[in-house]
Chain A
Amino acid sequence: MVKPKPQSKKSKRGGVDFKKYKRKIGRKLPPPKNSTNTEIKYKAIVLPEQSIASERAGLATSKKGLTLKELLQQTSHHNAKSRKVALHGIKDIFLNNPDELKLHKLAVVEKLRERIGDDDELVRETLYQLFKSVIFPGGTKDNQGPVVSLMMAYVFNAMAHLVLDVRLMGFKFSDLVVQFYPSSFPFYAEKVLQNYENFLRKNQFLEDKSKLKSILAGLIRCLSLLPCEVREHATAKNDIAAPGILHAFEPEIAREPIGLVDFIRQLKDLLPILVACFHDFMPLMNSTSQLDLQSCECMQFLLQSIEIIVKILVGGICESGSDTKIIPFCGKPGLTAFNKLLPPMILKKLWDIYPLNLVHLTRKDYRRISMLNTTITQIFLQFKNWDQSPSVLLDKFLEFIESSMATEMQSDKMVHEKDLVPLIPCIPKLVMQISGSWRSRILQAFTEVFKNSSPESSMKLACIIAIEEMLAPGRSSLYLDESDPLLSYQISWIQDLPSLLISLDDKSPACSKAVLRLLLYIGQFAPLDSPISREFDTLQFRFKDFFCKLVENDKCFGPFIRQAGDIKELAICCLYYFSYMDPLLLQSLVSCCLCNVLEPVFIFRIFEVLQSSFRAGHILVADYISIHVTLLSRFQVYPDPVAKNDGKSHWKTFKNVTRIVCSSLSQIGDDNLVLQMLENIIVDQICSDIPVDNKCAFVRLLLTFDSKLSRLSDQSVVSMSHVLPQYMTCVLSNVGYDDEDSMSLTGVKRRQYYLLPCFYLIYGSKRLLSLALNVMGSWISEASSSVDPSNTICCIASVLLLMYKDVKVRQILPSCKIEMATVLQNMLNLLTGGEGPNMSLEERHDIERAYNQLRSEVAV
């Protein structure tokens, strides 16, 4: 194993040691044929060093073949360029081998963090990108504590660096950490805020606004992570507990709340600096004609962070003086604490310049300025004692609110809807606390906004939430004395809800849901016989179009059937709270149920709620009966009678519908009385021309009231006797025979389902049996003139045979011997009579066979 290098040197040296002689003797001899080629060829054989220390096989390497360890070492190289290259290499490795990142994350972060304060800008930027795109996104779920604590020490270092750019980078990094590990932020909040404060104090960025902007964006992110009482209450209400065990011990770790006290001082110090910062922009407003986007955004950010701080401070005060939450701070001991924490003078600067105005207003500027004004208004309304402030100031704010809501309505849309949305949640608070003419003006403006905003907008949603709050502050009471002007506004809002629901269609589920929730809420909490509950009752006339609109006997389904399940559920629940239900509403509900698209679950649900509503006395008996009868008679079992094509069977649904109708009608009251009411309707339906399935349902309905037919009038029995034979033959000829094997179990079962109720009727009444037999007999005698005599006769015969198979009917059949004999005689007549030309041999044979079978049964 010789290395190539020394060898080549040797050969060179060989020339020196032995002199070469050139001998020229004669002509060159040709090489002898038998000579062996003694030439030696060689090639360098590279054998890598074999040691554990530098083993690379199986290690992830970058494109340049360097391992992670080498690259990490290179990151502290004195040459900036190679540092950058090393960082790129690391990125390369991690992108190709994500596992590597998981294994070495801590080590890598520990090494790389040193570069946060790097002198070279490019290196810093590369590092930032590396963290942002690769290291942090990879596996944020695992243990985060060490990574964050490793980072933050150096981030703080960088934030306090002398060089401005490094400091900026420090803030950028802290922002990055906050983005990816928001939960760990409160532990560092105090220091981070301190750094922001120091940074903003030196007011040096009026020139470079993009940098200021990025800093402020980070600040807002940090502030919004601080625990804010108000927000926590809001979220706690609608979270449903984890799907754990009820009586288990609760985990006690990670519940330790980060006290507000820890950083409240920082916030207090930060506030005047932010205000001053904002004030520095003021000359800009007055001097230049054009307001550039950057500074405008900076101002917006400044105001937003002021708002958050004020919110936290106010919330903190509320918490400390727990019981004074409701009562404003007037003359209470809380006031001094309040003033100490949030001196009114701090924000006075802000109030002084409000409302902001530009000398020259373009439309774009107007929008921006009004956004700023909106934010200042929000800050103002954060205060608990805003209604104690001087009336001049208060008027300024109220006027702005009113005017901005009013301008929104103007056709040219100077103010965009979107910008107004944050103002809307303040309205309930305003309405509760101010009085006099301002109150009605604000209410008027709000009503305008609500009525004119487009249905699907976020504005509408915000309005609905505000309305909910104004209808019942604290969800406690809906009652108002009638003299309150608020009442008329409330009623006008409520009146709008159904049409809003219809115009929303299924485009904005969130908004539909909010509206329905509001409706449900009104229904639940309006006191009986109050103006609001009366108004709610009249809503049903428009609400019915949500389900189905009937225009000249033509159905036009409303948005209901297109909505998602939970919205449907809410809408159905609303029905319960109408203190009476109009027949028109019921009609549209039933037509909704009859459409083929609605899932069966909701049909059942609607009828379940209607039943409860009936029990509570909201529906008249006649209406209640008629909706059930309509459902039974109009329900389309489609395609008749088997639906195999789409898997779900309408037939099965209808079976359930029948069951439900039977049970809910029988629950109306005493069977006898109900039957008296229903008898004519049911018999009429049975005798009318409706599909077999619906007929079957009515027969079943009849049986639920009177299983023995003891109470049925004679007239009904007679009229039914004309229809039943037809029904039974129809069942036999149609049902269950369309499968390949007609005698399959399902076919037989299904025929049983149709025939059994008829047999029950027959057990009950012998008269019915004899009448029905008479009808059959007469059919047979008339059969010769019909189109397909053999088929009719065979059907009749098989019906009779089935009767004989049934144990109970068999027992009473002997009592109708005469009628039976007539049937047989008629068949015989047909066979022996000279009807030959009408029947083929085969048909005649069929009839004969049926006759023989029947005769043998009768004989037994």
Chain B
Amino acid sequence: MEPEIIIASSPTDAGVSCWDLRTGAEHLRYKSCASPLHGLTSIAGRFLASSQVRDAKSSTSGSILYWSWNKSQVEVRSFPAEPIRPIACNNQGTYIAGGGISGDIYFWEVATGKLLKKWHAHYRAVTCLAFNDDQSLLISGAEDGCVRVWSLFLIFDAVRREETRNLFEYSFHEHSLRVTDVKTGYGGCNAIIVSASEDRTCKVWSLSRGKLLRNVVFPAVIDAISLDPGEHVFYAGGRDGKIHIAALNAPMSQNSNNGPYVLGSLAEHSKAVTCLASSADGFLLVSGSEDGMIRVWDTRTRNIIRIFRHAKGPVNNVMVTKQPQLLNPRTSASTASSRKQALTLPPSLEKFANAPDENTHVKVLIGGQDPSNGITDSSYVSVQAMEAQIRELQQKGSAAAAEVDVERLKNDQLRSVQMIQHWKTMYDDLHQFCVDELLEDVRTERPTHQNL
């Protein structure tokens, strides 16, 4: 089991806290972060990113900040064209998608900071974004109660985009109030998505058929949801301070007193539950609440196993990610060695999209992919980024090149260590063998002597 960490942030300026999920040890606290809901993410475990909306009412400017794991100060600041609330990042950490308050979705490449695409997605502000598990679909929820599914293939395909009437794959209108959270299950385009809304319902949709599968009514507004990895149940954090458990893979039960599909609840928070996250194995559920506490639940026993205190104000984002290698416990935070390890972060995100004809010189498209090359290993980078990296590698000077070098050296080292291990075992075996042989000889010889 890889060590995992909890990251939490709040809308008041209380920074980003970071704890080890298993041991409870606190790591570095990253300063000056006031994130909106769904505005905190870790870019594939490489660094932290958070959108900032300082003044919710008269917001004309917002920013997106980057922190590297070993420094508590903000390293990179970018200022998009309008305030961005939710941000999401794909698994490899190549893209960041951000939802603007005008209803636009921005799509950046992390490595270069280029704004690859921007499109008008909703009539009202975007409230939540999520990638599906194969990273090809982006699901967005908005204040107008609309949940839309965007295919990235379609968005980047100029020809097909002209043909179709709507950019989105599906547009679900059944929610009557603001959508508060969207989560997807497993299974690529056959997965289910679950959306929560202020109309006190959670709805389960099928991505393959594009229709409503289930409507679960809760006794309170649901602000956060988290899916069980087996998709047997999902957890819904409500404004009544309870985490409701709703059945996904069970038929409707009429006899329960909570309403159909609602199996029970975890109750400990005195105030509204605002965010949920679950550990990779799904046994631990992390919930953040408006009272500033973060609770870790064991979903099998339904008990609290750990409580963290983030700040006085409410918590509105929690995340569970793998422990990054560069992260050190607080005690050794600012040692010289860690500073040496630090790699520079990618440049800040651009405000406007570049001229579309930038990549016209790319004529050839490699169609078939070598089947031996696992698709899972490939990561998505734009042509410009690839070229830039190649150039840098040739010049052998820049951050990305260094990163690649480090990566390669690490691999080398790993291989050498394995080699040593291998030689060691071989040596041990040989040694053992020889000793055995010798002893055996002695043993067989001695009786003969005696006989003689």
Contacts and interface: CB of A to CB of B under 8 A. Distances in A.
Asked if A and B are interacting partners, one says yes
Interface of A: 236, 240-241, 243-247, 326, 474-476, 478, 520-521, 524-528, 569-570, 573, 576-577, 605, 608-609, 612, 615-617, 663, 667
A245 B211 contact: no
A245 B250 contact: yes
B176 A520 contact: yes
Interface string B136-149: 00000001111000
A608 B221 contact: yes
Given A245-B251, A476-B166, A616 B143 contact: yes
Contacts of B145: 524
Interface in B310-340: none
A251 to B, nearest CB: 14
A531 to B, nearest CB: 14
Contact of B171 (A475, A527, A577, A615): A475
B178 A612 contact: yes
Contacts of A616: 143, 178
Interface in B230-271: 231, 239, 248-252, 260, 271
Contact of A476 (B165, B211, B215, B239): B165
A245 B231 CA distance: 11
Contacts of B231: 246-247
Given A476-B165, A527-B123, A612 B249 contact: no
A243 B252 contact: yes
A325 B231 CA distance: 38
Nearest to B221: A608
B173 interface: yes
Contacts of A474: 165
Contacts of A243: 251-252, 260
B123 A526 contact: yes
B199 A246 contact: no
B214 interface: yes
Closest 5 CB pairs of A and B: A243-B252, A573-B176, A524-B144, A241-B213, A617-B57
A246 B198 contact: no
B204 interface: yes
B118 interface: no
Contacts of B214: 240-241, 246
Q: Which of B144, B239, B248, B271 has the most CB of A within 10 A?
A: B144
Contacts of A609: 177, 198
Q: Which of B124, B146, B239, B252 has the most CB of A within 10 A?
A: B124
Nearest to A667: B290
Given A326-B165, A608-B221, 17 more contacts: A240-B215, A241-B211, A246-B192, A246-B213, A247-B231, A476-B166, A520-B176, A524-B124, A524-B176, A525-B144, A573-B199, A608-B198, A608-B239, A615-B56, A617-B57, A663-B271, A667-B290
Contacts of B252: 243
A668 to B, nearest CB: 12
Contact of B251 (A244, A612, A617, A663): A244
B212 interface: yes
15 contacts: A245-B250, A246-B213, A246-B249, A326-B165, A478-B123, A524-B144, A524-B176, A525-B144, A526-B123, A528-B102, A570-B176, A573-B199, A576-B177, A605-B200, A612-B177
Nearest to A479: B123
Contacts of A247: 231, 248-249
A109 B55 CA distance: 79
B211 to A, nearest CB: 7
Nearest to B198: A612
Interface residues on B, range: 35 or more
Contacts of B178: 576, 612, 616
Q: Which of B123, B146, B165, B214 has the most CB of A within 10 A?
A: B123
A240 to B, nearest CB: 6
B220 to A, nearest CB: 8
Q: Which of B102, B177, B212 has the most CB of A within 10 A?
A: B177
B58 to A, nearest CB: 9
Nearest to B248: A246
Nearest to A516: B176
A236 B206 CA distance: 14
Q: Which of B56, B199, B200, B248 has the most CB of A within 10 A?
A: B199
Contacts of B171: 475-476
Contacts of B144: 524-525, 577
Contacts of A667: 290
B221 A240 contact: no
A608 to B, nearest CB: 6
Q: Which of A608, A617, A667 has the most CB of B within 10 A?
A: A608
Contact of B212 (A241, A244, A576): A241
A240 B214 CA distance: 7
Given A245-B250, A247-B249, A524-B146, A475 B199 contact: no
Q: Which of A236, A243, A520, A521 has the most CB of B within 10 A?
A: A243
A151 B212 CA distance: 40
Interface in B104-148: 123-124, 143-146
Contacts of B124: 524, 528
Contacts of B249: 245-247
A815 B102 CA distance: 60
Contacts of B123: 478, 524-528
B212 A240 contact: yes
Nearest to A323: B163
A445 B249 CA distance: 53
Contacts of A525: 123, 144
Contacts of B200: 605
Q: Which of B192, B198, B231, B250 has the most CB of A within 10 A?
A: B198
Given A476-B166, A528-B124, A246 B211 contact: no
Contacts of A240: 212, 214-215
A261 B358 CA distance: 51
Contacts of A576: 177-178, 198
Nearest to A474: B165
A524 B221 CA distance: 19
Interface in B202-236: 204, 211-215, 221, 231
A240 B203 CA distance: 11
Interface in B161-198: 165-166, 171, 173, 176-178, 192, 198
A576 B179 CA distance: 13
Contacts of A577: 144
A528 B144 CA distance: 11
B271 A236 contact: no
B383 to A, nearest CB: 32
Q: Which of A236, A247, A478, A570 has the most CB of B within 10 A?
A: A247
